[in-house]
């Protein structure tokens, strides 16, 4: 069945300029996989999405990813590549550089502008990184508080303080050297938690709803993650939307006091803008 479908698809893809997306993942069995997907527009202006290969790979290293992409292109006889979309990671930069070097040596290469725009970074992933950088301000505090709350039911032997000195276990149940549990909570951790509690309870100045405009980021992410309609034509507008949403997070001057809640908001927003 695979061969029956593959041959006609190979002939069809060969007629069009193809864009590729790829990503790697690790299964619960700790095995590494990579998927390569082709996108193209046919003569009737219909968009197509086809998964070409689903590889078991030895690592997430850039050169390894690049080699598999090259092998796949050769196997499918794909010469007319528009661009390749990756997550915004260093390994993927290495992968694209490897693929470009190889494609430049192909006798029938059909690269656009000598591959100047071959690498397209995933906008959805960048938005995710922007939001994560904002929330990172409270990561440690949240972990510390969660670990303390977990100790509530397990403190019969007064082991609260020793609990945080124990090493963390990995998925195989082995201790991770020099890595203890986060905590116990410090004063600044409680201050951060209090700041968020106040956002829920005291939103007279509309701070909470103004700051947490996660719906806007969510909707843009959904929009650019689509595969059944084109997204590149509106990407610039989406980028501007993200920028505008970040700017709206900055508190007006009359609200910029030294209160913990305001300082937390300011730090989170500054991190998001820096990452953007």
- The whole-angstrom separation of Cα 136 and Cα 268 is 8
35-55 per-position pLDDT tens digit: 999 999 999 999 999 999 998
Name the segment(s) of the chain with CATH classification 3.30.420.
2-121
pLDDT at 73 over 70: yes
* Of residues 30, 89, 41, 39, the one with CA closest to residue 65: 89
Average pLDDT of the residues of the chain? 80
Segment 213-236 mean pLDDT: 82
* Of residues 105, 41, 50, 40, the one with CA closest to residue 72: 50
Fold assignment, 2-121: Nucleotidyltransferase; domain 5 (3.30.420)
Please state whether beta strands 175-180 and 167-169 pair in parallel, antiparallel, or not at all (unpaired).
antiparallel
Alpha-carbon distances, residue 28 vs 31, 33, 45, 157 (angstroms): 7, 11, 40, 35
If phi over 0 gives left and psi between -120 and 50 gives alpha, with beta otherwise, what is residue 51? beta
203 — pLDDT class (breaks 50, 70, 90): very low
pLDDT at 84 over 90: yes
* Of residues 76, 71, 57, 69, the one with CA closest to residue 6: 76
Segment 25-32 mean pLDDT: 87
DSSP run (H or E) holding 83: strand 81-86
- The whole-angstrom separation of Cα 87 and Cα 93 is 9
pLDDT at 74 over 60: yes
21 — pLDDT class (breaks 50, 70, 90): very high
Alpha carbons within 13 A on the beta-carbon side of 16: 20
Q: Assign 269 to helix, strand or coil.
A: helix
pTM of structure: 0.69
- The least confident of 77-81, 83-87, 152-156, 221-225 is 152-156
Q: Facing residues of 85 across strands?
A: 21, 120
94-122 per-position pLDDT tens digit: 999 999 999 888 887 778 888 888 888 88
For residue 52, the model assigns a pLDDT of 92
């Amino acid at each position: 069945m695979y061969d029956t479908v593959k041959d006609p698809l190979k002939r069809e893809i060969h007629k069009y300029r193809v864009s590729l997306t790829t990503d790697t993942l690790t299964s619960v069995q700790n095995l590494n996989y990579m998927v390569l997907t082709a996108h193209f527009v046919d003569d009737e202006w219909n968009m197509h999405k086809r998964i070409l290969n689903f590889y078991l790979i030895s690592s997430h290293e850039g050169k390894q990813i690049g080699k598999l992409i090259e092998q796949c292109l050769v196997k499918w006889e794909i010469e007319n590549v528009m661009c390749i979309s990756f997550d915004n990671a260093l390994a993927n930069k290495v992968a694209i550089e490897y693929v470009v070097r190889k494609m430049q040596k192909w006798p029938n290469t059909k690269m656009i502008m000598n591959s100047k725009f071959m690498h397209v970074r995933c906008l959805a992933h960048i938005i995710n990184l922007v939001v994560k950088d904002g929330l990172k301000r409270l990561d440690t505090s949240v972990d510390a508080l969660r670990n303390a709350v977990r100790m509530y039911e397990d403190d019969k032997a007064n082991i609260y303080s020793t609990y945080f000195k124990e090493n963390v276990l990995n998925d195989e149940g082995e201790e991770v050297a020099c890595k203890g549990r986060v905590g116990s909570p410090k004063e600044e951790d409680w201050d951060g938690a209090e700041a968020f509690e106040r956002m829920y309870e005291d939103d007279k100045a509309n701070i909470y709803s103004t700051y947490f405009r996660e719906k806007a980021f969510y909707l843009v992410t959904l929009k650019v993650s689509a595969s059944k309609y084109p997204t590149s034509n509106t990407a610039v507008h989406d980028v501007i939307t993200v920028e505008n949403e970040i700017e709206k997070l900055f508190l007006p001057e009359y609200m910029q006091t030294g209160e913990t809640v305001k300082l937390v908001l300011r730090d989170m927003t500054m991190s998001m803008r820096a990452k953007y």
